[in-house]
């Protein structure tokens, strides 16, 4: 009996790395890691991002058109992770959708990491590229916490696992996708009015655009093209001012970056 007790007491120390990460218990170090790379790092990466989604210093990135969608997914994931870290298993039946949301977020974060991997590898020469690997770490955090959330739910069955993952995908991916589509369509229609409508209609459309949380850059391309082709000095200045009000940037500088 003494030997068995001793074996059981040291067994947790002999668990493999992956068993420790996905076990039921969460250490203080793991919780700090989750806060740093699951909550703080994603927000800082989006805020200080000069390339991937904002493209301020280089030409348009390949995934820039998904800017609003990515921001929406990240907002959902960060919020849900914060709720879990605060309340944990006390959420009871809500643990299942929480787990589904976080596992969906893990897949999305990993996909972002893969999509920007070429930029990350190039950026390693400037050191800044190391931040391009944060999505992989964030994906690991969401996967680990999501797994624990699902495992904490009582009477979890194969069907309830599938339901949790489906609900999680709808909440974390479906809703931001619909929001992104709505904003993109609204922006496209408003830009068309600015270019082809009356001055009064253009002012209304400009005001509508300024109320949007984010204006997808690809929807402003017709404004750039019209400015480049415009010959009338007054009209050109109007387009330039409209672009400045919408983005806070100088349109000539933006065109120079795109043509570089």
Q: Where are the domains of the chain?
A: 27-182, 183-259
Q: What is the pLDDT of residue 8?
A: 37
pTM beyond 0.85: the answer is: no
- Are 149 and 102 in contact, with CB atoms under 8 Å apart? yes
3-state secondary structure (DSSP) of residue 198: coil
3-state secondary structure (DSSP) of residue 54: coil
> Rounded to whole angstroms, how far apart are CA atoms 16 and 13?
8
Length of the chain in residues, anyone?
260
Give, in order, the Cα–Cα distances in Å from 68 to each of 58, 72, 177, 208, 215. 19, 6, 9, 17, 8
Q: What is the pLDDT of residue 170?
A: 93
Q: What is the pLDDT along the chain (260 residues), one digit of tens a residue?
A: 333 333 334 444 556 666 666 666 677 888 899 999 999 998 888 777 756 666 554 445 557 778 888 889 999 999 999 999 998 878 887 888 999 999 999 999 999 989 888 877 876 777 666 778 899 999 999 999 998 888 886 656 656 778 888 999 999 999 999 999 999 899 999 999 999 888 899 999 999 999 888 887 788 889 989 999 988 888 899 899 999 998 888 888 888 877 76
Q: C-alpha angle with apex 23: 110 to 105, nearest 5 degrees?
A: 25
Environment class of 19 (CB within 10 Å of its CB; exposed 0-12, middle 13-18, buried 19+)? exposed
């Amino acid at each position: 009996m003494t030997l068995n007790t001793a074996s059981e007491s040291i067994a947790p120390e002999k668990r493999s790395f992956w068993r420790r990460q996905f076990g039921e218990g969460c250490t203080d170090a793991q919780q700090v890691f989750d806060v740093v790379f699951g909550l703080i790092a994603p927000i800082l990466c989006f805020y200080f991002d000069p390339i991937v989604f904002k493209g301020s210093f280089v030409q348009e990135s390949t995934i820039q058109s998904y800017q609003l969608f990515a921001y929406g997914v990240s907002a959902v994931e960060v919020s849900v992770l914060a709720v879990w870290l605060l309340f944990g298993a006390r959420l009871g039946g809500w643990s299942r959708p929480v787990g589904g949301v976080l596992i969906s977020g893990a897949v999305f974060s990993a996909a972002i990491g893969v999509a920007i991997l070429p930029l990350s590898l190039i950026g390693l020469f400037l050191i800044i590229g190391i931040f391009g690997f944060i999505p992989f770490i964030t994906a690991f955090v969401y996967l680990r916490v999501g797994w624990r959330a699902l495992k904490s739910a009582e009477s979890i069955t194969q069907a309830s696992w599938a339901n949790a993952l489906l609900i999680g995908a709808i909440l974390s991916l479906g809703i931001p996708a619909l929001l992104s589509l709505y904003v993109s369509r609204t922006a496209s229609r408003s830009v068309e009015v600015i270019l082809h409508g009356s001055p009064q209609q253009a002012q209304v459309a400009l005001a509508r655009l300024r109320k949007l949380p984010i204006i997808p850059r690809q929807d402003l391309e017709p404004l750039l093209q019209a400015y480049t082709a415009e010959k009338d000095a007054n009209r050109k200045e109007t387009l330039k001012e409209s672009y400045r009000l919408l983005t806070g940037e100088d349109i000539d500088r933006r065109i120079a970056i795109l043509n570089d």
